[in-house]
Chain A
Amino acid sequence: MTDTPQSMIEARHTVKAFGQGDHIVRALDDVSLTIRKGEFFTLLGPSGCGKTTLLRLIAGFEMPTAGQILLDGADITDLPPNQRPVNTVFQSYALFPHLTVAQNVGFGLEMQGRPKAEVAKTTAEMLALVKLEAMANRKTSQLSGGQQQRVALARALAPKPKVLLLDEPLSALDLKLRKEMQVELKRLQQETGITFVFVTHDQEEALTMSDRIGVMSAGKLQQVGSPRDIYTRPVNRFVASFIGETNFLPASPVQGGLKLGCGAVIDGLTATKPSVTLTIRPEQIRITAPDEAGSIPATVTSLVYFGTDTHCHMALSDGAEVVVRVQSPASGEAGVTGGQKVGLRLLQGAAQVLED
């Protein structure tokens, strides 16, 4: 990471509308975004949020209805995909069934008109990079899902694009393979130094792999930031609930803090609106004795055991529900039982104010 990161991709007020007349759907609604050189950038959002549309605009498969797309400083808005130094790893892999693994990997180089010797050399390097040297002469249909995935990666990386676009590439793999590929992708990104733009609906995948994340919903970019930023300081209700689990509690400003519905006041927070929402992550709350000074009184309603931790569902005095995550000790007991009266203490900075 350089001190002054330069932009690799810049989307300026991009709009993509589908359909005609009364049935126009704005898949992208005035999205502006800067992706830095050499970073692992993830577009995260539920299906239909416009993340794949944005990826396809960068690849050149769709033309924006309005706005511009810049690649490394140059306007590529009107360039066809075969003239953009950008390659894609498709969700379906889209490997050429009539070609061998090596021919698939070398396809882009061959189309660029590189000399035969260079094609062979780079293909071999790429196959080594994804550890598929032994499969070079196989047909792609003879490979497993994970291997096909790797061929798709090698094929897209071989022409050394400025940007690699990945459209939910791991969604077809089983959990174990997906975890392996996450590590593998991160390794490839670091080894090649190529800017990766990764599209996913899996928030955990986004958090573990990305340098920065852009959270999208309903065709709009909701928040852009590092995984830590997005998790700890969500800007709105959508981002807070889509990434990780959280508690939402209505609150209103009073002298010196925000007052919850149950009457407890959380110090040090301010809000401009008369009523706001607080978001508090379940792991940022501690259970205390019911009479501890400054704690919020609550009653345990139910316990859900998750192995590494237990989710304790609590009811505050006004009936609002709060989930507290307690790490399981060796015995597996959460230390509380249903119906028990307890106190809740928020960790420093746990509560975030959402004004929407």
Chain B
Amino acid sequence: MQSEAETRQTARSARAGWLLSTPALVLLAVGAIGPLLIVVVYSFLLPGKYGNVEWGFSLDAWRGILFTKDIFDDTLVLADAHLSIFWRSVKLSLLTTLFTFAVGFPTAWFIATRPQKQRALWLFLITIPFWTNLLIRTFAINEIIRNEGLLNTILLSLGLIEKPLEIIYTDTAVFIGMTYVYLPLMVLPLFAAIDRFDMRLLEAGYDLYATRWQVLRRIILPIVKPGIIAGSILVFVPALGAYVTPRILGGGKQMMIGNFIELQFGQGRNWPLGASLSVTLLVIVTAALLVYVRFANRDRGAHHG
């Protein structure tokens, strides 16, 4: 039982906590909720002729996400182009997440199993790409994979291929670019999780007749799962809204949701549609996160028996 004085003490420190976090909370409220509200409101308005919005309630922007008006008879038809953009975004983001995990896990394991002194160096190397602007790095990838780029020049001169590989401006190009850009975001949380992993458990596993594969699946992966979840979220969420990479490596054609939204606010001059698409993206991301977290928790619940 707490004494009255202790209760007061707890209440006071809780109040102090709130007070201290006020600046951050205000910043978050103004910075995140404010613009979000504007976007939500805009999605229910009419597009202005030269961009911007006209005041007047309309659901056109929401309808426009999935449907488009036939130019001849004004009937609503399913917008295939929009759907393929959504599909490409989700597909490429999932592929990027899976591939960065497949590549990032061995990398993180390698770093975490180095002697303490070397680890800092390896982590430092992982963060080097962050020193350069994303745009420049993406153009560098472009320079490597374009038809007359480094990769094709080398392969051609070695006689391995007869004509250049057409990678640039395809989904593959976007996938390569995103994997490169987001890989560190997968490696770092995985490293943090593996670093905490007690390597003695490996011996315990082998001692109890587990094969290498069973040790990985039954011991390592379940224990470093928080790192896998964190890394996947850190890769999947920004990948879904990626703008620069698909723009430069996908050309104008292989658009992702990010580019599509930009198009509405730019050349498309349909701000409400851009706004409704933005809200949709937010909802997809939130839904994906909820599913993921639920999945993770259910798994843990099952272990409780």
Q: Which residues of A contact B208 (CB under 8 A)?
A: 82, 87, 107-108, 111, 155-156, 159
Residue B284, interface by CB 8 Å: no
Instruction: State how many angstroms separate the Cβ of B241 from the closest Cβ of chain A.
Output: 33
Pick the most buried of B198, B201, B203, B204: most chain A CB atoms within 10 A of its CB. B204
- Is B305's CB under 8 angstroms from A90's CB? no
- Is B206's CB under 8 angstroms from A82's CB? yes
Instruction: State how many angstroms separate the Cβ of B218 from the closest Cβ of chain A.
Output: 8
Question: Which residue from B201, B207, B214, B305 sits with its C-beta under 8 Å from A87?
Answer: B207
Q: Which residue in chain A gives the minimum CB-CB distance to B204? A: A94
Residue B12, interface by CB 8 Å: no
Q: Which residues of B contact A98 (CB under 8 A)?
A: 219, 222-223, 303
- Is A82's CB under 8 angstroms from B200's CB? no
- Is A90's CB under 8 angstroms from B200's CB? yes
Residue B9, interface by CB 8 Å: no
Q: Which residues of A contact B206 (CB under 8 A)?
A: 60-61, 80-82
- Is A108's CB under 8 angstroms from B209's CB? yes
Cα-based distance from A94 to B208 in the complex (angstroms): 12
Chain B 211-238 interface residues, beta-carbon cutoff 8 Å to A:
211, 214, 218-219, 222-223
Q: Which residues of A contact B214 (CB under 8 A)?
A: 111
Q: Which residues of A contact B209 (CB under 8 A)?
A: 82-83, 108, 111-112, 159
Chain A 193-207 interface residues, beta-carbon cutoff 8 Å to B:
none
Contact of A99 with B204 at beta-carbon distance under 8 Å, contacts A82-B211, A112-B209, A159-B209 already known = no
- Is B207's CB under 8 angstroms from A82's CB? yes
- Is A94's CB under 8 angstroms from B198's CB? yes
- Is A82's CB under 8 angstroms from B303's CB? no
Chain B 175-215 interface residues, beta-carbon cutoff 8 Å to A:
198, 200-201, 203-211, 214
Contact of A81 with B203 at beta-carbon distance under 8 Å, contacts A98-B223, A137-B305 already known = yes
Question: Which residue from A94, A99, A156 sits with its C-beta under 8 Å from B303?
Answer: A99
Instruction: State how many angstroms separate the Cβ of B259 from the closest Cβ of chain A.
Output: 41
Cα-based distance from A97 to B210 in the complex (angstroms): 17
In the complex, number of A-B residue pairs with CB atoms less than 8 Å apart: 72
Q: Which residues of A contact B305 (CB under 8 A)?
A: 100, 102-103, 137
Cα-based distance from A87 to B208 in the complex (angstroms): 7
- Is A82's CB under 8 angstroms from B304's CB? no
Cα-based distance from A206 to B78 in the complex (angstroms): 81
Cα-based distance from A86 to B209 in the complex (angstroms): 9
Instruction: State how many angstroms separate the Cβ of B298 from the closest Cβ of chain A.
Output: 14
Cα-based distance from A25 to B182 in the complex (angstroms): 45
Residue A92, interface by CB 8 Å: yes
- Is B304's CB under 8 angstroms from A100's CB? yes
Contact of A94 with B223 at beta-carbon distance under 8 Å, contacts A100-B305, A137-B304 already known = no
Question: What string of 1s and 0s marks CB contacts (under 8 Å) between A60-86 and chain B?
Answer: 110000000000000000001111001
Cα-based distance from A81 to B209 in the complex (angstroms): 7
Residue A231, interface by CB 8 Å: no
Pick the most buried of A81, A103, A155: most chain B CB atoms within 10 A of its CB. A81
Cα-based distance from A139 to B211 in the complex (angstroms): 24
Instruction: State how many angstroms separate the Cβ of B186 from the closest Cβ of chain A.
Output: 21
Instruction: State how many angstroms separate the Cβ of A278 from the closest Cβ of chain B.
Output: 45
Instruction: State how many angstroms separate the Cβ of A157 from the closest Cβ of chain B.
Output: 11
Instruction: State how many angstroms separate the Cβ of A285 from the closest Cβ of chain B.
Output: 47
Residue A88, interface by CB 8 Å: yes
Instruction: State how many angstroms separate the Cβ of A118 from the closest Cβ of chain B.
Output: 14
Instruction: State how many angstroms separate the Cβ of A83 from the closest Cβ of chain B.
Output: 8
Instruction: State how many angstroms separate the Cβ of B190 from the closest Cβ of chain A.
Output: 17
Cα-based distance from A49 to B205 in the complex (angstroms): 26
Cα-based distance from A128 to B206 in the complex (angstroms): 25
- Is B204's CB under 8 angstroms from A90's CB? yes
Chain B 266-305 interface residues, beta-carbon cutoff 8 Å to A:
303-305
Residue A59, interface by CB 8 Å: yes
Q: Which residues of B contact A87 (CB under 8 A)?
A: 207-208
Cα-based distance from A80 to B206 in the complex (angstroms): 8
Cα-based distance from A82 to B203 in the complex (angstroms): 9
Contact of A97 with B304 at beta-carbon distance under 8 Å, contacts A90-B200, A108-B208 already known = no
Q: Which residues of B contact A111 (CB under 8 A)?
A: 208-211, 214, 218
Contact of A59 with B207 at beta-carbon distance under 8 Å, contacts A92-B200, A98-B303, A100-B305 already known = yes
Q: Which residue in chain A gives the minimum CB-CB distance to B212? A: A82
Question: Which residue from A61, A86, A99, A100 sits with its C-beta under 8 Å from B203?
Answer: A61
Interchain residue pairs A-B with the least CB separation, the first 3: A108-B208, A94-B204, A111-B209
Chain A to chain B contacts (Cβ below 8 Å), 23 pairs: A60-B207, A61-B203, A61-B206, A61-B207, A81-B207, A82-B208, A86-B207, A87-B207, A90-B200, A90-B203, A90-B204, A94-B203, A96-B201, A97-B223, A103-B305, A107-B205, A107-B208, A107-B210, A111-B210, A111-B218, A137-B304, A155-B208, A159-B208
Instruction: A80-B206, A102-B305, A112-B209 given; name 15 further pairs at CB < 8 Å.
Output: A60-B207, A61-B206, A81-B207, A88-B203, A88-B204, A90-B200, A92-B200, A94-B198, A94-B204, A98-B222, A111-B208, A111-B210, A111-B214, A159-B208, A159-B209
